[in-house]
Amino acid sequence: MRIDVLTIFPDYLAPLELSLAGKARDRGLIDIRVHDLRDWTRDRHRTVDDTPYGGGAGMVMKPEPWGEAFDTLLDDGDVEGATVVFTTPSGQPFTQAVARELASKGRLIFACGRYEGIDQRVIDEVSTRAEVREISLGDYVLNGGEVAALAITEAVVRLVPGFMGNAASLVEESHTLSDSGASLLEYPVYTKPASWRDREVPPVLLSGDHAAIATWRHDQAVRRTAERRPDLVHGSVLLDDVQVRPAE
């Protein structure tokens, strides 16, 4: 998979060189290239923003540098199946399902917006040349889309076939669909020692009874999900003859 990132703060993306994405890059599974948007400006001050038409607070990112950057990236031949991701708080919320979709693409181009956003004509024009997704990390405001591009890249790269060493840890974790299709948070986990500061590991986990362990873990996942993420629980669930209802 080829990933390009367009940003006015390329240093923000330095962690991509380390961590998980760095390992995938070393193994040749992904090719990540970070670009400074200002390289496509033509004025002495390398201007990327201007005041909004119609008035209002803040600045808007000018279309010209973006246009020239996309001309370069979309015309470099390696464009088959390219998906352009604009990171913006007005986008579709990023989820594990979106991560799975993006992981199936051959090429991703992240466009990190700053200030009040990018001139809409950039998104409209790029939409005629590539598949475009506008994606938000969640319902809070960041100063720019760089951290979102970083988070999305990490979530996507670890789903690229051949990336994870242990495929089982990919299926069992939080936000993977269960057999019933429901999304549950992960159950609590424990390791040695069995007793630590007078706190004991739940005895069932030491029992060797694999069926009992599976049942306990599922129950814990359901309780945790009902309490922390009632939005993921559809209706009440029956657990050990006790009704567990999602919190208000």
Choose one: 26-34, 50-58, 85-93, 157-165; the region binding ligand 6GU (CB under 6 A).
Answer: 85-93
Q: Exposed e or buried b for every residue in 9-38, given b needs 16+ CB within 10 A?
A: ebebbeebeeebbeebbeeeebebebbbbe
Rounded to a whole number of angstroms, the minimum distance from the CB of residue 137 to ligand 6GU is 3
Contact call for residue 136 and ligand 6GU (CB under 6 A) = yes
Buried b (16+ CB within 10 A) or exposed e, 176-215: eeeeeeebbbebeeeeeeeeeeeeeeeeebeeeeeeebee
Closest to 30 measured CA to CA, from 137, 135, 159, 151: 159
Neighbouring residues of 126: CB distance < 8 A, sequence distance ≥ 6:
70, 74, 84, 111, 132
Cα–Cα distance measured from residue 105 to residue 160, given in angstroms and rounded to the nearest whole number: 9
**Choices 47-55, 83-91, 161-169, 237-245 (CB under 6 A): range interacting with ligand 6GU:** 83-91
Give the pair of three-digit tokens for residue 81.
């199946």
Dist. CA 248–CA 16, nearest whole Å: 39
| Per CB under 6 A, 87 contacts ligand 6GU | yes
**Does residue 7 belong to the site contacting ligand 6GU (CB under 6 A)?**
no
Return the residue of 88, 183, 220, 225 that touches ligand 6GU, per CB under 6 A.
Answer: 88
Q: Is 137 annotated as a binding residue?
A: yes
Nearer to ligand 6GU, 143 or 166 (CB): 143
What is the smallest separation between the CB atom of 12 and ligand 6GU, expressed in angstroms?
12
| Minimum CB–partner distance for residue 99 and ligand 6GU (Å) | 14
Tokens of 56: 């209002």
Do residues 118 and 61 touch, judged by C-beta distance below 8 A?
yes
Q: For strand 195-196 and strand 49-50, is the pairing parallel, antiparallel, or unpaired?
A: unpaired
> Which of 73/137 has CB closer to ligand 6GU?
137
Nearer to ligand 6GU, 149 or 221 (CB): 149
- Tell me the closest approach of the beta carbon of residue 8 to ligand 6GU, in angstroms: 13
Restricting to residues 137-156, name those near ligand 6GU by CB under 6 A.
Answer: 137-138, 140-142, 144-145, 148
Q: Is 139 annotated as a binding residue?
A: yes
Annotated binding-site ranges for S-adenosyl-L-methionine: 113, 137-142
User: Which residues sit at the interface with ligand 6GU, rule CB under 6 A?
Assistant: 87-89, 136-138, 140-142, 144-145, 148
